[in-house]
Amino acid sequence: MTLQATAWNPLAVMTSLDAQLLAQTAERVAAHSGPTFLIGIAGGVAVGKTTLAHRLAEGLNRGGITVEVVATDGFLRPNRELEAAGLNLRKGFPETYDRDAFHRFLAELGAGRAAASPVYSHVTYDIVPGEVRRVPARGVVIVEGVNVLQTPQARAAFGLSLYVDADPADAKAWYLARLARIVAEEPESFIARIADPVRRDALVEAAWTQINLVNLRDHIAPTMAHADVVVRKRPDHALQALAWR
Q: Write out 108-151 in H/E/C secondary structure.
A: HHHCCCCEEEEEEECCCCEEEEEEEEEECCCEEEEEECCCCCCC
Pairing of strands 67-71, 139-144: parallel
For 136-168, the pLDDT digits (tens) are 999 999 999 999 999 999 999 999 999 999 999
36's enclosing H/E stretch is strand 36-43
Question: What digits encode the pLDDT tens for the residues 174-225?
Answer: 999 998 988 889 888 888 889 898 999 999 999 999 999 999 999 999 999 9
pTM score, two decimals? Answer: 0.92
Pairs from 186-193 (Cβ < 8 Å, separation ≥ 24): 186/122, 186/123, 188/123, 189/122, 189/123, 189/124, 189/125, 190/123, 190/124, 190/125
pLDDT for 100 equals 98
Nearest to 192 by CA among 205, 179, 203, 207: 179
pLDDT of 34 reads: 86
Cα–Cα distance measured from residue 182 to residue 46, given in angstroms and rounded to the nearest whole number: 13
Query: How far is residue 245's CA from residue 241's CA, in Å, rounded to a whole number?
Result: 13
- Cβ 239 vs Cβ 163: under 8 Å: no
Give me the pLDDT at residue 43, please.
98
Alpha-carbon gap, residue 67 to 219, rounded angstroms: 28
Higher pLDDT, 12 or 199: 199
Contacts of 174 (CB under 8 A, 6+ apart): 46, 47, 48, 237
Neighbours of 165 (CB within 10 A): 21
Instruction: Please answer whether residues 158 and 86 qualify as being in contact, where contact means their C-beta atoms are separated by less than 8 angstroms.
Output: no
Measure CA 198 to chain center: 28
Res 15: pLDDT: 67
Tell me the per-residue pLDDT of 39-60, one tens digit each, with 9 for 90 and over.
999 999 999 999 999 999 999 9
- Distance between CA 41 and CA 230 in Å, rounded? 10
